[in-house]
Amino acid sequence: MANSWWEIQILCDSALEETIFWRLEVFGCRGMSSEVKGYSSLVGAYLPQEQAHVLDLAALALALRQDALCVGMPIPAVQWDLIDEEDWSITWKEHWQPQEIGDRFLINPAWLPIPEHTDRIVLQLEPGVAFGTGDHATTQLCLESLEMRLGNNEADLIIADVGCGSGILSIGAILLGAKKAYAVDIDPLAVKAARESRDLNGIAAERLTVEQGSVDRVAELIDAPVDGIVCNILAEVIIDLIPQMTAIAKPETWGVFSGILLDQAKPVADTLEENGWVVAALWKRQDWCCMNVRRT
């Protein structure tokens, strides 16, 4: 089937939801949703067909089973099916509704009209293939941190968004008043999605540069160190990237780092300290945390 997607559905105890989201993210799933079913949750996720073989899906189901057994929870029921692109998009549209985040943002699916009577900043998104719809706790924590950081409309602020996914954080920063953002992602599909999100929100290409790559790509693109770095990737990736982040920072540069499970916060904080950064605040949501960091 051309342009087919795996639709993965997992019926689980609600307490397992966060671990399952994490597993799915590491597996490479693009869109994730969850629906409450009594005391259980039905977690849905999507993955381009070419990215996983049936054997990979079976291995994923096994890992989820082991995760549940480790914490004495009922074993989740996992099933998968191939669906075509059109069905995938329709499924998304059913799941995805406008969502308020923090005090300022309203994430609005692109197929719905822009709400007229809202005092919130409307951020339009398509159900693209990239991570970053605002559903995930880590994205929410980053947007809320940006709200606090950019509360005073700092017009000259330049930020780097490492692992931009849909571009949600860069766009959020620009809508809050940042002058420019450099958004990078190693996934070409994310780069395409972020450029589409930029156009959807009427942001000029000069204000939001989107390129494939990572921190080293930002270093090539910028003329001067950035004022802020947002990075919502998994802890182990952030740990590897911290030394490179120092190279694109100046003494006043701040960072908003998320994608970090609570029990991985210490190694991230240790690596930050070793590289001349300090954790100024740590925000928690579910099993995740978001670090607001600054240079020492």
Q: Does 142 bind ligand SAM (CB under 6 A)?
A: yes
Task: Choose, by CB under 6 A, the member of 76, 128, 163, 255 that binds ligand SAM.
Answer: 163
State the Cα torsion 236-237-238-239 to the nearest 10°. 50
Task: Restricting to residues 263-292, name those near ligand SAM by CB under 6 A.
Answer: none
Directed axis angle between helix 54-70 and helix 17-27, to 10°?
150
E strands, the chain, in order:
4-13, 31-37, 40-48, 77-84, 99-101, 105-109, 121-125, 158-162, 180-185, 208-212, 226-232, 249-261, 277-285, 288-295
**What minimum distance in Å lies between the beta carbon of 46 and ligand SAM?**
14
Of residues 31 and 259, the one with the C-beta less far from ligand SAM: 259
Directed axis angle between helix 168-175 and helix 188-200, to 10°?
30
Q: Tell me which stretch binds ligand SAM (CB under 6 A): 35-43, 116-124, 165-173, 248-256.
A: 165-173
Task: Choose, by CB under 6 A, the member of 259, 288, 290, 292 that binds ligand SAM.
Answer: 259
Interface characters, 178-207, with ligand SAM (x: CB under 6 A):
------xxxx--x-----------------
Of residues 50 and 84, the one with the C-beta less far from ligand SAM: 50
Q: Does 63 bind ligand SAM (CB under 6 A)?
A: no
Q: Does 227 bind ligand SAM (CB under 6 A)?
A: no
Task: Choose, by CB under 6 A, the member of 162, 208, 226, 260 that binds ligand SAM.
Answer: 162
Q: Is 185 annotated as a binding residue?
A: yes
**What minimum distance in Å lies between the beta carbon of 22 and ligand SAM?**
10
Q: Which has the closest alpha carbon to 24: 41, 39, 38, 4?
A: 41
Task: Choose, by CB under 6 A, the member of 46, 131, 254, 277 that binds ligand SAM.
Answer: 131
Q: Does 228 bind ligand SAM (CB under 6 A)?
A: no
Residue 289 to residue 281: CA distance in whole angstroms: 10
CB < 8 Å & 24+ apart, contacts of 102-110: 102/140, 102/143, 102/144, 102/147, 103/147, 104/147, 104/176, 105/134, 105/143, 105/147, 105/172, 107/133, 107/134, 107/168, 110/200
CB atoms within 10 A of CB 164: 31
Give the binding-site size for ligand SAM (rule: CB under 6 A).
Answer: 21
Q: Does 169 bind ligand SAM (CB under 6 A)?
A: yes
Q: Annotated binding site, which residues? A: 139, 163, 185, 232
Binding site for ligand SAM (CB under 6 A): 130-132, 139, 142, 162-165, 168-169, 184-187, 190, 214, 232-233, 237, 259
